[in-house]
A and B are shown apart, each in its own frame.
Chain A
Amino acid sequence: MSVNQQANASVMPAKEFLTFVLGDETYALDIMTVKEIRGYEIATKIANAPNYIKGVINLRGDIVPIIDLRIKFGIGEATYNEWTIVIMLNVRDRIVGIVVDGVSDVMNLEEDDIKPAPEFGVSFDSRYLHGLAAIDDLMVIIVDIEELISSDELGIFDSASV
């Protein structure tokens, strides 16, 4: 244990990321924020909410909002079928679900593997990006999900309460 720690002292310890698919692009988020993964179910619509807020669902007694990132960032087509996945996230003591096209893998990344994100060419604002990582010819976009979910742009938290 202690030997290991010493060996890794120079590099950041590896973190685990969950990769998911939006349209043709593969994204990843810190797995520690993931509460659970479940199938999509019809949400109860919320009055006067933007179209990417699909509504709220009942997660074992908690009323949880569901966000469709595909609509928000205009990636892929917002279709809902039996393979549509919702990732339940724990962000700043709140639970939020995000709709994605699919969940693919869990991978280990070290800080060195993550390259800075370009200013353009990604649907997300660079504020919410942690960086890019190349894995087997596949480019994975690493999202700073906490920043994104709690952002004013998404507007799902009252700014006063965050």
Chain B
Amino acid sequence: MDNLSQFNEVFFEEAQEHLETMETLLLAFDVDAPDIEELNSVFRAAHSIKGGSGIFGFTAMTGLTHVMENMLDSARNSELALTSGLITVLLETVDVLKEILNCYRNEEEIDWDSVKTAEAVIENAHRGTSSEQSTTVGDVLQAGTDDNQATDLEEDDGFGFFDEEPDSSEDDDGFGFFDDEPDTSADEGFGLFENEEPKEEFGFFDETLNARIEKEAAEDEDGFGFFDPLPNDLEQQAPNNVVSAEQAAPPEPPVDQQTSNIAAKPLKKAVSKPETKTTEATSIRVETNKIDKLVNLVGELVITQSMLNLIGNEVQESMMDKMQTALAELERNTREIQEAVMSVRMLPISFVFNRFPRLVRDLSVKMDKKIDLVIEGASTEIDKNLVEKISDPLTHLIRNSIDHGIEMPDVRRENGKNETGKVKLSATQKGGEIIISITDDGAGLNRERILNKALEKGISLPDPLTDEAIWQLIFSPGFSTAAEITDVSGRGVGMDVVRRNIESLGGRVDISSTQGQGSEFQISLPLTLAILDGMCVESSGQVFVVPLVNIVESIQPSKEQIKVIKNNPILWVREEYWPLVDIGKTLSGSESNGSIDQGIVVLVETAKSRFGLMVDSLVGQQQVVIKSLERHFKRVEGVAGATIMGDGSVALILDVDSLTQFINTDVKGELAHVSQSAG
């Protein structure tokens, strides 16, 4: 029991992957020009899940994947034309499979009703569109779905003369499944089997099946002819041999199907081998905490290395040269290790983005809207932790864009827009931040409606009522302007949660919108755990890191540039007044020593404001690794995180955005006044 359950996790991971593959392939499937190779891949995925779930006794999955497999099988034999309706059915089945998988994973009760319903739906769809024969086949096989073994047996029985096969097929499945075992020799051997197995065996079956069905269709025979006694079968098949070979996608020499199985098998194997090799996986699964540990260790290594560097400078003359060469070598290696390890944690954002074409497709069908989803920058890399956490908020935002943003096709036509709405999902890296934006060319946010709704809900209005401030209202808890609640959106929980989720990741959401032209939701996320380009500054004897992305310039102010408003100094640079924040005073609690014109002012800007940071001196530009302060401590205002410097000491990374609050409000007001009167 325990022996088997340790492989359960492996199965869950694999099944998850297979399901995702299926979904991606099905979405990309072009109904007008079906690609048999793609269908084969979908079939293989379904088959692997079926095999694995059978071994582990996850019967709900076995049954469902089995009927799915039947349909796919007919489809790839060009016996069933996949319509977009059928694709939807298949996609829904994938969803049900995902649910079942989660149930098994969390050891929850299986919803057998939904499993049965899904099986029935796919059967009906299959029956509705395919020939009489395959329907009957499906029905007969369905009887055995509760037990994988029995099913396989029945299937094989049908093929009578392949009697040798079922055993080997079962075995292969089993071993293929265990190919994650650490034993590499087993890995190589059996991994190969797994990949090639469906092709080798089932491909073989399919062809015969195809041939038979062709023949049977021609003769308009009863579907049960499928299970006709062996000799009959063989007779029927012989004349169709050539036809079936032509129909099979991979060009294969017409095999004399009347030869014994033993003879046919090696031949097939030889054909399929070179193809399958290319699809072998080149990745392994590693637990994230192992990677985290590596990242930490490398951080330590970097520090040790810089300590060595310091010591190296004190080495005596004779050894100096050798030492320096070795140290330089060490430094380079360390840096390369660091980069390599960091990159392990980073995943392309396509991991998140890939699930959205499906969402958009489903929603557009459901709401009768025409929508194009454009994805840009899917290769932008973000930290794995973020990948998991950003998915829900993004789903909400995209749903919102489609439900509230994009208008119905007729409305769009009236407004002189293209009937097909466009939703753009893009990701870019800007300095220390990842910017993910969701743009639609829909109706845009409605200022009046949001204001009315806010009044109705008793939400206090911001002052002044700028557009930007009004848009932020939609993030208030319980806020929804949707005329009616659909199952897509309108419950008013979404946006609230979106903002909370994103803020908990240290990010923010900005909205821009033009009535009638569309709106843009922009999510800015910090690259947590990624390397940050920063300027190290010193203030009151302590080193701080200012994210380079925020820095405009650093200057040494002259006395004439400093003005004082209500006892607070401000700086006149570039025809503009900049309020000042004394880092030493606000972040280490010490009084500033000396006057401003002796220190340095780092001019910074954020999306919201521009101001100057007063520091004692600049230390230098450096790449730093962001470490969480919250892990063992708590969030500190004005600080985005911490990093470990070359000497092993800790330096705080400034959060320029939240430092804005340290600007004296009096000064802010005065400055607004000044700029108004100037304008």
- Residue ranges of A at the interface with B (Cβ–Cβ < 8 Å): 42-49, 55-58, 60-65, 94-96, 155-158, 161
Contact sample, A vs B, 10 pairs, CB 8 Å cutoff: A42-B649, A44-B652, A47-B588, A47-B652, A48-B637, A62-B632, A63-B633, A96-B632, A158-B635, A161-B630
A162, closest chain B residue (CB): B634
B627, closest chain A residue (CB): A63
Q: Shortest beta-carbon distance, B652 to chain A, in Å?
A: 7
- Residue ranges of B at the interface with A (Cβ–Cβ < 8 Å): 296-297, 299-300, 303, 542, 586-589, 627-639, 642, 644, 648-652
Contacts of A47 in B (CB 8 A): 586-589, 636-639, 652
* Interface pair A58/B644, CB less than 8 Å apart: yes
Interface centre among A45, A94, A95, A157 (most CB of B within 10 A): A45
Distance in angstroms between the alpha carbons of A157 and B629 in the assembled complex = 11
Distance in angstroms between the alpha carbons of A152 and B410 in the assembled complex = 59
Q: 10 tightest A-B contacts by CB?
A: A61-B296, A47-B587, A44-B650, A158-B634, A65-B633, A63-B642, A94-B632, A45-B588, A61-B299, A58-B644
* Interface pair B632/A95, CB less than 8 Å apart: yes
Interface centre among A56, A58, A94, A156 (most CB of B within 10 A): A58
Distance in angstroms between the alpha carbons of A62 and B297 in the assembled complex = 11
Distance in angstroms between the alpha carbons of A56 and B589 in the assembled complex = 15
Given contacts A63-B633, A96-B632, 16 further A-B pairs with CB under 8 A are: A44-B542, A46-B636, A47-B586, A47-B587, A47-B639, A48-B587, A55-B650, A56-B642, A58-B303, A58-B649, A61-B296, A61-B627, A61-B644, A62-B632, A63-B627, A65-B632
Contacts of A157 in B (CB 8 A): 633-634
Distance in angstroms between the alpha carbons of A157 and B631 in the assembled complex = 9
Distance in angstroms between the alpha carbons of A65 and B629 in the assembled complex = 9
Q: Shortest beta-carbon distance, B629 to chain A, in Å?
A: 6
Distance in angstroms between the alpha carbons of A49 and B637 in the assembled complex = 10
B644, closest chain A residue (CB): A58
Contacts of B300 in A (CB 8 A): 60-61
Contacts of A49 in B (CB 8 A): 636
Distance in angstroms between the alpha carbons of A57 and B635 in the assembled complex = 16
Contacts of B644 in A (CB 8 A): 58, 61, 63
Distance in angstroms between the alpha carbons of A36 and B303 in the assembled complex = 21
Number of A-B contacts (CB under 8 A): 81
Q: Shortest beta-carbon distance, B321 to chain A, in Å?
A: 32
Contacts of B650 in A (CB 8 A): 43-44, 55-58, 63
A49, closest chain B residue (CB): B636
Q: Shortest beta-carbon distance, B563 to chain A, in Å?
A: 27
Distance in angstroms between the alpha carbons of A2 and B668 in the assembled complex = 75
Contacts of A43 in B (CB 8 A): 650
* Interface pair A62/B631, CB less than 8 Å apart: yes
B543, closest chain A residue (CB): A44
* Interface pair B642/A60, CB less than 8 Å apart: no
* Interface pair A58/B634, CB less than 8 Å apart: no
Distance in angstroms between the alpha carbons of A137 and B334 in the assembled complex = 56
* Interface pair A63/B629, CB less than 8 Å apart: yes
Distance in angstroms between the alpha carbons of A146 and B635 in the assembled complex = 21
Contacts of B299 in A (CB 8 A): 61
A160, closest chain B residue (CB): B634
Distance in angstroms between the alpha carbons of A62 and B588 in the assembled complex = 21
* Interface pair A48/B636, CB less than 8 Å apart: yes
* Interface pair B637/A156, CB less than 8 Å apart: no
Q: Shortest beta-carbon distance, A93 to chain B, in Å?
A: 9
A60, closest chain B residue (CB): B300
Q: Shortest beta-carbon distance, B129 to chain A, in Å?
A: 55
* Interface pair A45/B633, CB less than 8 Å apart: no
Distance in angstroms between the alpha carbons of A105 and B300 in the assembled complex = 31
Distance in angstroms between the alpha carbons of A55 and B637 in the assembled complex = 14
* Interface pair B639/A61, CB less than 8 Å apart: no
Contacts of A55 in B (CB 8 A): 650
* Interface pair B637/A60, CB less than 8 Å apart: no
Contacts of A161 in B (CB 8 A): 630, 634
A51, closest chain B residue (CB): B589
Distance in angstroms between the alpha carbons of A161 and B629 in the assembled complex = 13
Contacts of B296 in A (CB 8 A): 60-62
Contacts of A156 in B (CB 8 A): 633-634
**Known interface pairs A44-B650, A47-B639, A158-B635. Does A61 touch B589 (Cβ–Cβ under 8 Å)?**
no
A155, closest chain B residue (CB): B634
Contacts of B303 in A (CB 8 A): 58
Distance in angstroms between the alpha carbons of A61 and B294 in the assembled complex = 11
Q: Shortest beta-carbon distance, B443 to chain A, in Å?
A: 38
Contacts of B631 in A (CB 8 A): 62-63, 94
* Interface pair B628/A63, CB less than 8 Å apart: yes
Distance in angstroms between the alpha carbons of A49 and B652 in the assembled complex = 14
Distance in angstroms between the alpha carbons of A47 and B640 in the assembled complex = 12
Contacts of A65 in B (CB 8 A): 632-633
**Known interface pairs A61-B299, A63-B627. Does A45 touch B542 (Cβ–Cβ under 8 Å)?**
yes
Q: Shortest beta-carbon distance, B585 to chain A, in Å?
A: 10
A59, closest chain B residue (CB): B632
Contacts of A63 in B (CB 8 A): 627-629, 631-633, 642, 644, 650
The contact of A44 among B297, B638, B651, by CB within 8 Å, is B651
Distance in angstroms between the alpha carbons of A96 and B629 in the assembled complex = 12
Distance in angstroms between the alpha carbons of A44 and B653 in the assembled complex = 12
**Known interface pairs A60-B296, A61-B296, A63-B650. Does A44 touch B634 (Cβ–Cβ under 8 Å)?**
no
Q: Shortest beta-carbon distance, B156 to chain A, in Å?
A: 53
* Interface pair A44/B589, CB less than 8 Å apart: no
Contacts of B636 in A (CB 8 A): 46-49
Q: Shortest beta-carbon distance, B354 to chain A, in Å?
A: 32
A53, closest chain B residue (CB): B633
Distance in angstroms between the alpha carbons of A14 and B579 in the assembled complex = 62
Q: Shortest beta-carbon distance, B400 to chain A, in Å?
A: 27
* Interface pair A158/B542, CB less than 8 Å apart: no
* Interface pair B589/A48, CB less than 8 Å apart: yes
Distance in angstroms between the alpha carbons of A14 and B634 in the assembled complex = 35
Contacts of B633 in A (CB 8 A): 46, 56, 63-65, 156-157
Q: Shortest beta-carbon distance, A159 to chain B, in Å?
A: 9
Contacts of A95 in B (CB 8 A): 632
